[in-house]
Structure 1
Amino acid sequence: MKIDGKNIVLTGASSGIGKEILKRLQQYDVKIIAVSRTISKIPCNEKVIPYSCDVSKKEEVDKLFEYAQEKLGNIDIFFANAGFAFCEQIREADWEHMEEIFRTNVFSPIYSVEKMRVANGKRKYAVVITCSAVSEVPLPGYSLYCSTKHAINGFGRVFQYETRKNELISFVYPIATKTNFFTNAAQKAPVPWPVQAPDKVAKSVVRGVEKDRHFIYPSKAYAVIRTLNRIFPFNSSVYAKIQSNKFHRWAHSAYDLHS
């Protein structure tokens, strides 16, 4: 799908991958509703309209669509990029804790897909959802986060067979990215290897949309590793064991020494 001339909504636009996607999209002739809970760091210009929204809440997503349609007339591309992680050692049963991350990482993007279908009817449109490499590779310490990405990946792999000719649904699988993502997950949270720059992820995402790709892999290394893991499944176990050792060392410092 061509980017030029399109009306776009981008969630998670104030930081990380979303911030870089926003920068890259402004190179085109577009109108963008740039969404975040905190919009002070989002530019406001002839191409970008900042909009404050908590996408974990159905009512606020509904209001976002109403606002975007009022301002833009229609939404051609919706980037469901907002998301977050917990790095933690699960020590108690906490329903609200689980629900919090699933509302943002799973319910909101799927609900946005449904909203885009209803809003556009037979018009051509695209939805781009930021998934993650950890939807296919175990990452100890991030079990809740990984489970949300497994859920989104599962939805994407099935929904591809339910899309219509006028619909492009794309899923992005970034590896660990050099942002505040892991800092926000927990203090001094262990960062998995390998790591990629957010601007490279953004470039890959925009290029993938322009080429109508359903699955976008910003890291060529991961694309190769993913194939090798299918041929040699034990590779994932070795990687998970290495990350598990890192997690347990971190957990000992973060939990045991402060309990």
Structure 2
Amino acid sequence: MEQKIALVTGASRGIGEAISHELSKNGYITYAISRGGNERNNDDRLTHLPMDLRSEESIQEAFSIIERKHGVLDVLVNNAAVMINKPFEQFERADWEDTYATNVFGPIQCIQQAFPLMKKRGGRIINISSIMTERPLPQSALYTSSKHALNGLGEALSEEWYPHRIFLTKLCLGATYTDMWKNVGGFTQDDMLQVEDVARMAAFIAQTPLHVRMDEIKMTPPKGVL
């Protein structure tokens, strides 16, 4: 049986950490990526690696480790993101640059690096998106627009790469309790999805045979979108 390889960005906590553990629990050799990560093995199937999505060199270095060790990649989860909440007129250039570097340009480079590793036997790319691309909240213009950009990229590549059996799935999440929501008023943890819910769905997508295409999956709490 072929050993499956996965890489998850933003994996030091929250959704990314939960997805990394769920994939490793399901037999994937999983690389949990974060800015502050260090190369250490939790066990035979989970390795933490440093990668800064704002740095092309850092991204290339992380993927080169996977290429040297395995030569293939089966699953890429673009989870890492930053969200700055404030009125649009208060955004500064540094806010735009940091958000788009992390939420858009970094994932673009990860997808480019993943392509030659996935082309050998097919694979899945899961882009973690947000219900705010459909139902935006006030003061979320920067985050919401960056998720729209990632959605558009995934939709286009779904049409370009299916002959290679490389499929992109937009996993669109309603309110999910993470650190991002700690300072947002009007929401409680009980009203939201839990990170474990998202992790189980990501593992389901990852393990689905490659004769099935899943362009979009939407998850929301029982009470509705947000």
Q: Give TM-score scaled by structure 2 length.
A: 0.85
Q: Could you say if the C-alpha distance between residues 106 and 49 of structure 1 is closer, same or farther in structure 2, counting changes exceeding 3 Å?
A: same
> 1:196 maps to which residue?
193
Structure 1's unaligned 5+ residue stretches are 226-238, 240-259
The structure where strand makes up a greater share of residues is 2
C-alpha separation in 2, matches of 1:74 and 1:122? 7
In 2, the alpha carbon distance for the partners of 1:71 and 1:128 equals 22
Q: How far 1:83 sits from its partner (Å)? A: 0.8
**Partner Cα distance (1:5, 1:191) in 2:** 44
Computed over aligned residues only, the root mean square deviation of the Cα atoms, in angstroms, reads 2.5
The equivalent of 2:207 in structure 1 is 210
Check whether the contact 1:171–1:214 (CA below 8 A) recurs between aligned residues: yes
Question: Alignment partner for residue 108 of structure 1, among 106, 109, 116?
Answer: 106
| 2:17 maps to 1:19 | yes
- Residue aligning to 2:143: 145
**Alignment partners' CA distance in 2, 1:152 and 1:80:** 10
Structure 1 vs Structure 2: percent identity of aligned residues? 23
SS of the residue aligned with 1:196?
A: coil
| More deviation, 189-198/171-180 | 189-198
Quick one: distance in 2 between partners of 1:149 and 1:13? 18
What is the Cα deviation at residue 76 of structure 1? 1.5
Query: Cα gap change, 1:215/1:191 in structure 2, threshold over 3 Å: closer, same or farther?
Result: farther
CA distance in 2, matches of 1:122, 1:66: 16
- Looking at structure 1, the residues matched to 118 and 79 of structure 2 have their Cα atoms a distance apart, in angstroms, of 20
Structure 1 contact 205–216 (Cα < 8 Å) conserved: no
Which stretch shifts more, 201-210 or 141-150?
201-210
Distance 1:121 1:201, change over 3 A: closer
1:160 aligns with 2:158: yes
Counterpart contact for 1:208–1:216, Cα < 8 Å: no
Alignment of 1:159-178 (within 5 A): 159-165=157-163, 166-178=165-177
Equivalences for residues 85-96 of structure 1 within 5 A? 85-92=83-90, 94-96=92-94
CA contact (8 A) 2:37 2:51 kept: no
| Residues matched between the structures, number | 218
| TM-score normalised according to structure 1 size | 0.75
Shift of 1:95: 1.9
- Which structure's CA Rg is the greater one? 1
* Deviation sequence 1:17-73 (CA, Å, 0-9, x none): 111112211222221111111237x86211111101111221111111111212333
Distance in 2 (alpha carbons) for counterparts of 1:26 and 1:109: 22
Aligned residue in 2 for 1:10:
8
* 1:203-242 equivalence runs, <5 A: 203-211=200-208, 212=212, 213-219=214-220
Task: Measure the CA separation in 1 of the matches of 2:126 and 2:16.
Answer: 12
Shift of 1:90: 3.5
**Equivalent position SS for 1:78:** strand
> CA 1:144–1:8 in 2, change beyond 3 Å: closer, same or farther?
same
Query: Which residue of the other structure, out of 8, 25, 30, is the alignment partner of 1:32?
Result: 30
Match of 1:46 among 30, 44, 47: 44
Structure 1 CA distance, aligned partners of 2:60 and 2:200? 29
Structure 1 counterpart of 2:178? 179
